Amino acid sequence: MTFKNPIGLAAGYDKDAVAVRGLAALGFGHVEVGTVTPMPQPGNPRPRVFRLPEEEAVINRMGFPGNGSAYMVRFLQGRQRRMGLFRSVLGTSSRNQQPAKPNRPNQVVLGVNIGRNKSTPNEEAVLDYLALLQIFAPHADYLAINISSPNTVGLRQLQGRAALEGLLAQLDIQRRMEEKKLEKRVPLLVKLAPDLSGEELDDAVDVILGTHMDGIIATNTTLARDGLTSRHRDETGGLSGGPLRVRSEAVLSHLVKQVDGKIPIVSVGGIMNSEDARRRIDLGATLIQVYTGLVYQGPGLVKKILAE
């Protein structure tokens, strides 16, 4: 795939894909929408988002609120018809033959981040992910499998070796069926938490490589609260922004070593300025994503990073 630049918008902002065209105008090379769930759900009770300006951080416990997959598909179908903004990456029916034809380099790559509904038990989570893969394979340039949000009870348990292998193996089978039907590549990336131990990260990498996934997104928000002084520090939920920087960089460095160039890694978490962005690329990230940096630096952050 061809990206016009390495900077993307992380999932969580445009949960229903209603603002992709406007977000693309900020200068992103890719935009990741979602997390989308099969059925609509309200998310967790409010208040559920807290600014920690002393640390340039945010704590959220949103819980995948959104209008569901059918709602998002309508927006993506309408946008594709009206604007021609996105172009699927076409390839052969066999993933092991010729590489996919690249998308036009002046276009924004669209990722769709998928997750299970709150009411779906982990034992049945694969059904939600399989359904979402089939729904969005025709509309997305890549799919991101979210098993690392701390705000859906039990979701992170899917990162364990046995559960992860069971999930990703079935998704890979379904992905190959969709590729044959659509005659296009359907890249799958897995989004991991920053709170995994080194051993847990190694297990995840083994499974991700063994099930033929196409990339890793590292990292989601953290449950850690090291060194925070804000009055909101004890709020439950995932912490993002400046305090996540060191932890996310450490996970990136570990993954780069373990992956050894076999698949790309997208780095996200604590990227607040151009120095942070450059350091992630230097550490081995193929792409980066921002979110909380936009809260504190404004929408000009993307073009500022590119310029610097």
**Which residues carry out catalysis?**
149
Can you tell me the distance from the alpha carbon of 299 to that of 214, in angstroms, rounded to the nearest whole number?
Answer: 30
Residues 6+ apart with CB under 8 A from 221: 60, 149, 150, 194, 237, 238, 239, 240, 244, 269
Determine which helix (DSSP H) or strand (DSSP E) holds 60, and give its type and residue range.
strand 57-60
The DSSP 8-state label assigned to residue 190 in this structure reads E
Cβ atoms of residues 12 and 39 within 8 Å: no
Of 1, 172, 22, nearest to 91 by C-alpha is 1
Cβ atoms of residues 17 and 72 within 8 Å: yes
Orientation of helix 198-210 relative to helix 245-259, angle to 10°: 50
Can you tell me the distance from the alpha carbon of 17 to that of 44, in angstroms, rounded to the nearest whole number?
Answer: 20
